[in-house]
Amino acid sequence: MTIDTLEQAFYTRKAGSADVVDIINKGVNGDLYELILKFQFISFNSFLAEINNPEKLYAFYVCRDRNDDLIGWACCFKFHERLGYSGSVQLVMDLYKPISALGWENYLYQSCEEECRRRGAHVIVSFVHSNMKQLMDWHHDNAFEACGNIDLVSADKMHVFSKRLPK
Amino acid sequence: MIRLADVSDVSAMVEVYNQSIEDRVFANCDDLHGSSDAFTSLYFGNNNRYVVLVSESGINANVVGWAAIKRFSARSYDTSIAEVAVYIRRENRSAGTGIRLFRELIIQAEKCGFQSLVAIILGRNVQSLRGCKSCGFKEKVRMRAIANVYGEEEDIIWMQRMLT
């Protein structure tokens, strides 16, 4: 079968328990869970429980191909505990397949953005390591504003992006 | 006199912190802290690399300000970068206490092996921006209108200082 459209190739859905099991089994690229989420949540399942709380500013989506293989996930969670950041969320995307011409990662991201907007978020913040050139380009292409960068060890940088969401 | 703080200083630290919220000096975008528990956990729950200093004054050695380094909130797992916090009692502001604390904090951070410090400052807090700059910090990140303080959208600025 020739795959011409996004819909033929992939689908995106809100993450559920089975997806979490798959993510854990598949392993999280770049130690994203170890490096980022574990400082926010005790476990992936506790993260999932929080995500499903409609009162909170969270979103968690997975993308699968037509063979039902998990090819990526994206989530947003509260950017910072302080009161003044209550409308801001942080985006984390983990893509198991390269960014493609079909733009499945956009589809995945849009699901997260729409969910966050419905829940009242007004800004999405994202941090990208300087060695992830393709992901940096993706942020530029998706109307994220480059806010600057922080120097890391060995001349690496952490780039900061933000995007205002329409009300 | 500046000295290392311990848990017994937490109530004074919270009092000074809450003054900055009450006075609406754009010190941060937090709410008042009702108890000391969160402070104790945040500033004394880590290992000794994350130093807390207090500045004392007068014959009663009252705490007139405090400064701390803590995990950088945007990269909590990164042990090479720390985030700084400096708060001064309202009657002692604009008297150089903050700068003295800042300078000592930088010395302590270097001793503890951090490679850089980051200060997160509201765009309207010109005094803190100036103070950081005078201590060698440079503006690296500006997130426009990301915070909401006193009903208005505010920029957040990250300033960074590399350590030797």
8 Å CB contact of A152 and B154: no
Q: What is the pLDDT of residue A96?
A: 79
CA dihedral (B47, B66, B31, B124) positive or negative: negative
Q: What is the pLDDT of residue A21?
A: 76
Percent of chain A having pLDDT more than 70? 77
Q: What is the pLDDT of residue B136?
A: 95
For the stretch B111-137, pLDDT in tens is 999 999 999 999 989 988 999 999 999
CA dihedral (A59, A63, A69, A71) positive or negative: negative
CA distance B81 to A153: 9
For the stretch B37-80, pLDDT in tens is 888 888 888 677 899 999 998 777 788 999 999 999 888 888 99
| More reliable by pLDDT, B120 or A7 | B120
Locate the domains of chain A by residue range: 6-122
8 Å CB contact of A150 and B81: yes
ipTM over the 0.90 cut-off: no
Q: Is the pLDDT of residue A137 over 50?
A: yes
Q: Is the pLDDT of residue A141 over 80?
A: yes
CA B56 distance to own-chain centroid:
16
For the stretch A59-70, pLDDT in tens is 888 888 888 888
8 Å CB contact of B140 and A125: no
Average pLDDT rounded to a whole number, residues A6-35: 70
Q: What is the pLDDT of residue B147?
A: 85
Q: What is the pLDDT of residue A140?
A: 93
Considering CB atoms only, which of A35, A145, A147 is closest to B77?
A35
Locate the domains of chain B by residue range: 2-118
8 Å CB contact of A84 and B147: yes
Q: What is the pLDDT of residue A18?
A: 81
Q: What is the pLDDT of residue A85?
A: 80
| Nearest alpha carbon to residue B82 among B161, B155, B12 | B161
Q: Looking at the structure, give the CATH architecture of the domain made up of residues B2-118.
A: 3-Layer(aba) Sandwich (3.40)
Q: Is the pLDDT of residue A57 over 70?
A: no
The residue type at A137: D
Q: Is the pLDDT of residue B138 over 90?
A: yes
Pairing verdict, β A145-151 and A157-164: antiparallel
Q: Is the pLDDT of residue B93 over 90?
A: no
Residues of A in contact with B118 (CB under 8 A): 150
Whole-angstrom Cα Rg for chain B = 15
Average pLDDT rounded to a whole number, residues A96-120: 84
| More reliable by pLDDT, B150 or B126 | B126
Q: What is the pLDDT of residue A14?
A: 87
| Nearest alpha carbon to residue A150 among B132, B156, B138 | B138
Contact with chain A for residue B21, Cβ under 8 A? no
Write down the CATH superfamily of domain A6-122: Gcn5-related N-acetyltransferase (GNAT) (3.40.630.30)
Q: How far is CA A99 from CA A60, A102, A135, in A?
A: 19, 8, 8
Q: Is the pLDDT of residue B16 over 70?
A: yes
Q: Is the pLDDT of residue A126 over 90?
A: yes
